[in-house]
Each structure stands twice: as C-alpha cells, then as structure tokens.
C-alpha cells in the first residue's frame, strides 16, 4: 500500500493551476489579493490557508517574505472521485445520492480499473497506520483475498477493515488491539473495493 503526503481537492488543484497559469502569463506569481479576487473569497485568510497547504504539499516554496513561489511539480497527478467518509470503527451510513468532490493523487497509485477515495473516520486501523482524517485510495472490486484491507458495506453501512473469509462466515478485523472483529454469518454484506494507497495531510 502506497503512502504519500500530497493530496489535492478540486479547489486546491484549481488554485494551484491558477498560480501556474498566472506565472506563465505575467512572469510573476499572483498576489494574495489577486487570488482572492479571482476565486471570490471573502477574506485573504482563505487564500493563506490554501497557499499554506500547497507549500506543505511541496507544490510551492516556503518563503519567509510570504511571496508565492513555484517549485517543480513532484508527480504526475490524476483525479479520482472523493466519495465521502468510511468508518475505521463500526459501519457508518452511506448516501449514494451525495455530490462528490475530486482529489488529485500520484498517477503511480492508479492501475487498471476504477478507483475512488474516501475520508477515514475513526481509529480501528491505526496499527496499519491508517489514521482518523486520512484519505484512502480504493480500487473498485467485489472480491478480495484474505488479509487485504477492504472497504465493505455491512447492512448498508461502510467500513474499512482486514478481510477474512472463513468456512461459514466473513470476518472483518480491525487493526487496533482494543477492538473486536465484525463477524458476518448472514445479512446484507458486500466488498466495495480494496485499499491501494493512502493520502495524509501533515
């Protein structure tokens, strides 16, 4: 499972690409006021938050004077849908009709097939370094092998766990010694995908 510290939402990507485009057109980076005006933010504080994230992600240089400076783009990025939250704990309800955002992830994380991303909520997978607030990258598929980390639906609720297929049941194991596995002998259950990557904001 790959782990990176770079993950851009749709808006973060739009701001970064505006900065790149502005520099190409004007041979300088935009000011905070110019970014605020272009995107219609109510205050410069919003711009400062976005710029800070882009600096932490390695897409902008740290500059003590506050000037926005570009660095080389570290990876080829590809966008996948960010579909909401998944529980690293007990299953949480899903909303199949919700609008979704897009997130940019390194292309090396993406292979054949369809992929999506989810925010992690809870601490049941902390021993596998999947923390509350992380974003997991998931390959969409309906089957899994023993020991793989999966996103599953249990009675309509979504959860992320280690998958094991026993003779007469399915076991979904947390990676937190304080928690117990989810045992499924019957009922509404399906594998929705296998976790292939992790995006973390520092």
Catalytic residue IDs = 124, 161
Token readout for 67 is 């000037």
35 phi/psi in degrees, rounded to 5: -65, -45
Rounded to whole angstroms, how far apart are CA atoms 140 and 145? 14
- Torsion angle in degrees (nearest 10) through CA of 88, 92, 96, 99: -70
Rounded to whole angstroms, how far apart are CA atoms 88 and 12? 26
CB 137 within 8 A of CB 117: yes
């Amino acid at each position: 499972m790959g782990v990176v510290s770079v993950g851009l939402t749709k808006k973060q990507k739009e701001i970064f690409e505006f900065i790149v485009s502005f520099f190409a057109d004007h041979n300088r980076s935009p000011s905070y006021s110019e970014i605020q005006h272009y995107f219609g933010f109510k205050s410069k504080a919003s711009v400062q938050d976005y710029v800070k994230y882009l600096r932490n992600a390695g897409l902008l240089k740290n500059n003590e004077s506050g000037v926005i400076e570009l660095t080389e783009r570290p990876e080829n990025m590809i966008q996948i849908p960010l579909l909401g939250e998944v529980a690293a704990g007990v299953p949480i309800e899903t909303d199949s009709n919700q609008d979704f955002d897009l997130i940019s992830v390194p292309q090396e994380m993406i292979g054949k097939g369809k992929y999506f991303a989810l925010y992690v909520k809870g601490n049941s997978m902390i021993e596998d370094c999947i923390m509350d607030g992380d974003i997991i990258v998931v390959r969409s598929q309906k089957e899994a092998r023993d020991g793989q980390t999966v996103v599953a639906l249990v009675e309509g609720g979504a959860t992320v766990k280690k998958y094991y297929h026993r003779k007469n049941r399915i076991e979904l194991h947390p990676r937190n010694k304080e928690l117990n596995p989810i045992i499924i002998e019957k009922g509404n259950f399906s594998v929705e995908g296998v976790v292939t990557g992790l995006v973390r904001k520092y």
